Structure 1
């Protein structure tokens, strides 16, 4: 709060007339990011005509990813909230509405939300991350780690070696490239289409 006050050229205590605490400020930042996602999604469809549910959700999730790539700190912020901000609940309500409007039951829509995980917000939340554990996924460090573990974990090591990301591929984590994001999204949408029938 002190840093923000310095940036705004005000006294730190004056911020508390507008915000109850730092958490309220961070919740407001989340609301702003989700509003930015909403604005990106509701831009006019340049192709014209209506969209089917898969096209709509794919476009929505990719718009969210575009926003997250502009704000790579946002996935961590979203994951740190103590409560789910109302704007995030409304965002997911719209996703459920798209699924139900396409003929999915609420039961299948609920399961779809679990399967999607964090994809609707534009990133893939990994179950573990070497960086969060104090590791480093820079090329030199990654190669040294691979060499040290290749004997004990040959298949995992070979997969990681084959999948080390090109520095031009936009990522939001050590294992969240654009290609992986779109592969997972398309796999889920295709599977849901089969289940809907």
Structure 2
């Protein structure tokens, strides 16, 4: 009689396994389809087993944010402050692009999770280690806004439906009435998948604005800018 091979033992349930399974499920089905029951089915357990590791769905979502933000990589030691901030923010962008639901969930939290706080603390610390004052760093973080976590409001709030495909959507009479809009539409680099706007390359637009901000922070730092005077310190 042929002996049937024994099934491999199932990995014990843990908080990390629950969170990683939830992230994978949201990646494949969308955050709207995520539920404790659906997650339990995915893990092959009864729903009550999940509550030993996450008290409720809100705690599950917090943990999923922690998992995604944990993918943000630090810059190499010795990197200058401006390059280090840029690299960390672009790493955040890469992490969030890998999980399209993550920006929405981060925005839905009532407060920052520990991993988000650690990321913000690292960015602030990089500015301060580079010599920027607490005053300038405060305003720099406000200027960066959600960009510090790798996404922008216009990306998150993009209207559903197909993106416009460049100047072809602009009727001749509109082009004549709004010549500067038409000129920019004709000059745009076309990217049909853009969520920033028709004819725009999301990555280019994100990095373009980020580089302008960092250049501005550096210039203000060199000038000794303070918010009290709104200009160069005396």
Q: TM-score, normalised by structure 1?
A: 0.79
Structure 2 gaps of 5+ residues are: 1-35, 223-234
Question: How far 1:14 sits from its partner (Å)?
Answer: 1.9
Q: Is the 8 A contact 1:31 1:87 kept in 2?
A: yes
User: In the comparison of the two structures, how many residue pairs are matched?
Assistant: 183
> Does structure 1 residue 117 correspond to structure 2 residue 117?
no
> Does structure 1 residue 174 correspond to structure 2 residue 209?
no
Distance of 1:29 and 1:153 partners within structure 2: 48
- CA distances 1:64-121 after superposition (whole Å, capped 9, x unpaired): 1121221222111211112211211121111111111111111110100011112221
Note closer, same or farther for the CA distance 1:13–1:109 as it changes in structure 2 (3 Å cut). Answer: same
Q: Is the 8 A contact 2:81 2:127 kept in 1?
A: yes
Note closer, same or farther for the CA distance 1:196–1:66 as it changes in structure 2 (3 Å cut). Answer: same
Other-structure match for 2:105:
77
Distance of 1:107 and 1:65 partners within structure 2: 26
> Does structure 1 residue 96 correspond to structure 2 residue 118?
no
Q: Is the 8 A contact 2:104 2:156 kept in 1?
A: no
Other-structure match for 2:219:
194
Distance of 2:177 and 2:102 partners within structure 1: 33
Distance of 2:63 and 2:70 partners within structure 1: 10
Other-structure match for 1:86:
114
Q: Is the 8 A contact 1:53 1:99 kept in 2?
A: yes
Q: TM-score, normalised by structure 2?
A: 0.67
Instruction: Point out the structure with max Rg over C-alpha.
Output: 2
Distance of 1:33 and 1:26 partners within structure 2: 11
Q: CA RMSD in A?
A: 2.9
Distance of 2:209 and 2:138 partners within structure 1: 18
> Does structure 1 residue 150 correspond to structure 2 residue 150?
no
Question: How far 1:183 sits from its partner (Å)?
Answer: 0.4
Note closer, same or farther for the CA distance 1:148–1:77 as it changes in structure 2 (3 Å cut). Answer: farther
Q: Is the 8 A contact 1:149 1:157 kept in 2?
A: no
